[in-house]
Amino acid sequence: MPDQSLYPCVTGLGHAFFWCTDIQLSERLSASLKKAGFVEVPTGFPLVCCFLSDDMESVIPVLEQTFGVKERRMIRALLSGSTKPSLHEFGDMHTLEELGLRLSAQWLGDMLADRRYKSLLQPIVCVEDHNNVMGYEFLIRGLHTDGTDIPAPVLFETAEAAGMLYALDMAAGESATRTARSFDLKENVFVNVLPFTIDTEKGMDAWLENVLGEGGLAEDQLVFEIVESQQLSDMEAVRKLVSRLKDRGIRIALDDFGTGFNNLSGITDIQPDFIKLDKSLTHDLNDDGRKWTLVANIVDSAKQSEIKVIAEGVEDSKTARMLESAGVDYLQGYLFGFPDEEPLPTVRPEAG
């Protein structure tokens, strides 16, 4: 066994194994790690490399400088405590690309484990009385260790790249209901939920246990906003999901209508409780007569099916009045309140 004191990169006797698809990749991998000071352990197989390393955190950055994304997807790796990995260790084998994403998202795992996140509340108001808050949409925000906010795009893009959307989704639900309980909210609690989180009875039960387990919030107070609608091309699957949720007394809002959900006939078959008009439909509504006509037709069709309509992205009083004339039931946007850490006793004065 080599003298580890001679090799600053080696901190123990772990073994990092790499399986390459061709000899050129194997040779480049070997050369790059040797150059970085890692000690190679002969395997006797030209397509398999092994280096002494206690962790992948020190190895992956070197290989990310050597290989592009396509090549990193062609090399598989695992960490073992011996020169002959056991059978169960092969279950932890991943491509270099997957390992790199996981390592880059380690901060996200730490954030979730430490529960360093919070919910911001944005009010949803009744169209007849802008001071009447019917509910709040709860938006998760991550926190750095110093308490400063992690930008929402960074949070969600990292979670998606690292395959951690499910964990983030569960945290968002837990945070929303915990926050609602802390303020003893009586209004509706709108929570964004990814379809794959609750698309089975087991998944739904796990979500509800996670977010409602501590009590203090009734199931009929919850409104699930089904997001990531591009995943829901199978409208029959959506209908079954909505039916299961309604059986539990939970109401449903289909989000992003006008961008993701855009098949009104299919939506009326599903019978959600709410549809939320995407801000792309409400933006510049004052200057686009065709857009106003489209919104009015959507609202009319929804009312025939007893579906309430919430318009998002309302930023000025004129747009609010036009949406009211179109028959929209509820309004949400900066005009009535920015996302905030506390609920509003009343909406902003200029919203009246």
- Amino acid residing at 200: T
Q: Residues in the chain, how many?
A: 352
Sorted by where each starts, the structural domains of the chain and their CATH numbers stand as 4-104 (3.30.70), 107-351 (3.20.20.450)
pLDDT, position 259: 66
Q: Residue 18: pLDDT band by 50, 70, 90 thresholds?
A: very high
pLDDT of residue 3: 39
d(CA 326, CA 3): 78
Share of the chain above pLDDT 70, in %: 88
Model pLDDT, residue 260: 55
Name the band, by pLDDT with cuts 50, 70 and 90, for residue 233.
low
Tell me the pLDDT tens digit for each residue of 317-333: 999 999 999 999 999 99
Instruction: Check residue 215 and give its pLDDT.
Output: 63
How large a percentage of the chain has pLDDT more than 90?
51
- Are the CB atoms for 101 and 88 separated by under 8 Å? no
Interatomic CA distance for residues 254 and 223, integer angstroms: 10
Residue-wise pLDDT for 89-120, tens only, equals: 888 899 999 898 888 888 999 999 999 999 99
- Non-local (6+) Cβ contacts of 58 within 8 A are 9
Tell which residue, 277, 270, 229, has the closest CA to residue 252.
270
* The predicted structure's pLDDT at residue 348: 47
**pLDDT tops 80 at residue 185:** yes
pLDDT tens digits, 276-292: 998 888 888 878 788 88
Residue 347 pLDDT greater than 60, yes or no: no
Picking from 33-37, 55-59, 228-232, which range would have the lowest pLDDT averaged per residue? 228-232
Indicate whether 84 pLDDT > 90: no
The pTM of the full predicted model, rounded to 2 decimals, is 0.76
Mean pLDDT of 62-90: 91
pLDDT surpasses 50 at 195: yes
Q: How far apart are the first and last CA of the chain?
A: 78
Residue 12 confidence (pLDDT): 45
DSSP letters, 302-323, are HHHTT-EEEE----SHHHHHHH
Stretch 64-68: mean pLDDT: 94
261 has a pLDDT exceeding 70? no
Residues 6+ apart with CB under 8 A from 338: 122
Q: Where are the alpha helices (DSSP H) in 77-120?
A: 96-104, 106-113
Mean pLDDT of the chain: 85
Q: Using alpha carbons only, what angle is made at residue 260 by residues 256 and 262, rounded to the nearest 5 degrees? A: 95
